[in-house]
Amino acid sequence: MIETLISGITYSSLLSLMALGITLLYRTTKVPNFAHASFVVFGIYTSYTLALLGYNPYLGTLLGFIVSGIIALILFYALLEPLRRRKSSIFILMMATLTYDILMFGIINIYADYLQTTFKIPARNVYLAPQDFTLIGLKGVTIVSTSLLIVLLMLLYILLNRTIIGAALRAVMENPSLAQANGINVSLMLALSWFLAGGLAGVAGALLPMYMMTDPSTGMLLIAPMFCASILGGLEQIYGAPLGGFILGLATTVLVSWLSGVIGYWIMTYSLMVPYITLIVTLIFIPRGVVSIILKR
C-alpha cells in the first residue's frame, strides 16, 4: 500500500509539472496547447539519449528543460506568433498546436528510428528505472521528481511575484493590450511563457522513463491526464495545476489499487479510463476547477 502511495506521489509530481505548463500557456496565450505531450516526449528522449551516451540520465532534467523549451519556442515563433499577428481565432491557434503535435510526432519517431539503427537497440521501449539509484529506501525518481516540483514551483513563484519580468508576465495574463500599451513587449513575454512551459514539460518527460515504460506514443496516453489535471485545478489558476495533478495522480494510482482490492483485479485494466471520467465529471460539476471552489469560501 505504502509502495502504491509513493508511486502515486511520483506520478502526481510528474503530472503536476506537465499540467503547470498547460495552465501557464492557457493564461498567457489563451490557447489549450495540444502539442504539450510532444514537449514531454522530447524530454523522454533527451534523458534516454544521455543514458545511451553513458551519462547520468538525471542530467536530462536540465538538458530536457532546454530542449523542450526550444521546441516550444519554435512552435511559438513559427506558427502561433504569425497567426496571432493575423488576429487568427482561438480555433485556428488550437489547430496550429495540434498540427505541431503531429509534426513533432513524426520527428521523434524518425529520431527513434535513427537511435535504433545507430545503437542497435529497441529505441521504442524506453525504460530507465533499472538504472535508478535508491536512497533511504526511496527510489531516486521519487526523490528527484517531488523535490524538483517543489523547487520549480518556488522558482516560478519568485519569478512571477518578485521580479519585474514576472510582473510583466502577470500583466500580460491579465490584460495583454493594456500591458502592451504600457511598454511591455507582449510577444517576448508570450515567448518566455512558452519556453518555461515547454521546459517544465521537458523536465517531467526526462524523469518519466525512470517511472514507467515509455515510447514515442506515450504522448497520446498523457494528453487526457495532463489536461484533466490542469482543468481539475482550474485553467485560470496557475497554482491549481499541482493540486489537480495530485488529485488525479493519486486517484489513478492509489484509489484504483484500493478499488482493485475491493471490487476485483479486473478494474486495474481500466485505470487508464480514470482521467477521462474525471475530466468529464469535472467539466459537468466544476468546470472552473477545484481552486474556484476553495476561493469562493
Partner 1 sequence: MFDVIILFITDLLAFFGIYLMLNTALNIERGYAGIPNFGLLFSYAGGAYITGHLTAKIAILLTGAKVEADPITQPVSALMVLNPILASNPLISITLLIIILLIGASFGALLGLIQLGPAIRLREDYLAITLLALGEVMNYIAIAYKPFINGSLGVQVPDVFSWIGSRYRFYLATGIILLIAFILYIYAEFLGRTPLGRAMKAIRENEIAAVSLGKSLTRYRAIAMIIGSAFTGVAGSLWTLYSGAITPTLQRFDWTFLPWLMIFLGGIGNNLGVALGTFIFVLINRLIIFNKHLLAGVLPFDIVWFDYISLGLIMGLILIYRPQGILPEKPYIPKNIRRKIVVSRSQE
Partner 2 sequence: MLVIEKLNSGYGKLHVLYDVSLTAKRKEITAVLGPNGAGKTTLLNSIFGLADIYSGSIELDDERLNKMPPHMISRRGVSYVFQLMNIFPNLTVEENLRLVARFSGMNHKDIENSLKEIYDLFPILKERRRQVAGTLSGGERQMLAISIGLIKRPRLLLLDEPTAGLAVRYVDMLIEKILEMKKTMDMIILLVEQNVHKALKIADKVYVLVSGRIIFEGTPSELVNKEDIAKMYLGVG
> Which residues lie near partner 2 (CB under 8 A)?
164, 167-168, 170-171, 174-175, 177-178, 180-186
Q: Is 113 in the site for partner 1 (CB under 8 A)?
A: yes
Following DSSP, what letter does each residue of 33-81 receive, concatenated?
A: -TTHHHHHHHHHHHHHHHHHTTS-TTHHHHHHHHHHHHHHHHHIIIIIH
Considering only residues 114 to 143 of the shown chain, the ones binding partner 1 according to CB under 8 A are 114, 117
Rounded to whole angstroms, the Cα distance separating 237 from 288 reads: 9
Q: Is 106 in the site for partner 1 (CB under 8 A)?
A: yes
Closest C-alpha among 46, 38, 82 to residue 62 = 46
Identified binder of partner 1 from the candidate list 223, 255, 259, 286, rule CB under 8 A: 223
Q: Is 32 in the site for partner 1 (CB under 8 A)?
A: yes
**Burial profile 5-39: b = 16 or more Cβ within 10 angstroms, e = fewer:** ebbbbbbbbbbbbbbbbbbbbbbbbebbbbbbbbb
Rounded to whole angstroms, the Cα distance separating 172 from 154 reads: 21
Block residue for cell numbers 516526449: 41
Identified binder of partner 1 from the candidate list 5, 78, 129, 138, rule CB under 8 A: 78
**Burial profile 265-274: b = 16 or more Cβ within 10 angstroms, e = fewer:** eebeeebeeb
Nearer to partner 2, 115 or 192 (CB): 192
Q: Is 70 in the site for partner 1 (CB under 8 A)?
A: no
Within 13 Å, how many C-alpha atoms sit on residue 152's CB side?
27
Nearer to partner 1, 263 or 273 (CB): 273
Rounded to whole angstroms, the Cα distance separating 61 from 29 reads: 25
Q: Is 269 in the site for partner 1 (CB under 8 A)?
A: yes
Q: Is 276 in the site for partner 1 (CB under 8 A)?
A: yes
User: What count of other Cβ atoms lies within 10 Å of the Cβ of residue 182?
Assistant: 10
Which of the choices partner 1, partner 2, none does residue 119 contact, using the CB cut-off of 5 to 8 A by kind?
Answer: none
Identified binder of partner 1 from the candidate list 224, 241, 247, 248, rule CB under 8 A: 224
Nearest distance from residue 265's CB to partner 1, in Å? 13
**Coil, helix or strand at residue 274:** helix
Which of the choices partner 1, partner 2, none does residue 31 contact, using the CB cut-off of 5 to 8 A by kind?
Answer: partner 1
Nearest distance from residue 88's CB to partner 2, in Å? 13
Q: Is 275 in the site for partner 1 (CB under 8 A)?
A: yes
Stretch near partner 1 under the rule CB under 8 A, chosen from 26-34, 128-136, 201-209, 246-254? 26-34
Q: Is 98 in the site for partner 1 (CB under 8 A)?
A: yes
Residue 132 buriedness (CB in 10 A; 0-12 / 13-18 / 19+)? middle
Within 13 Å, how many C-alpha atoms sit on residue 65's CB side?
10
Which of the choices partner 2, partner 1, none does residue 171 contact, using the CB cut-off of 5 to 8 A by kind?
Answer: partner 2
Summarize as ranges the residues that interact with partner 1 (CB under 8 A): 26, 30-32, 34, 78-79, 82-83, 86, 88, 90-92, 94-96, 98-100, 102-103, 105-107, 109-110, 113-114, 117, 220-221, 223-224, 227-228, 231, 269-270, 272-273, 275-276, 279-280, 283-284, 287
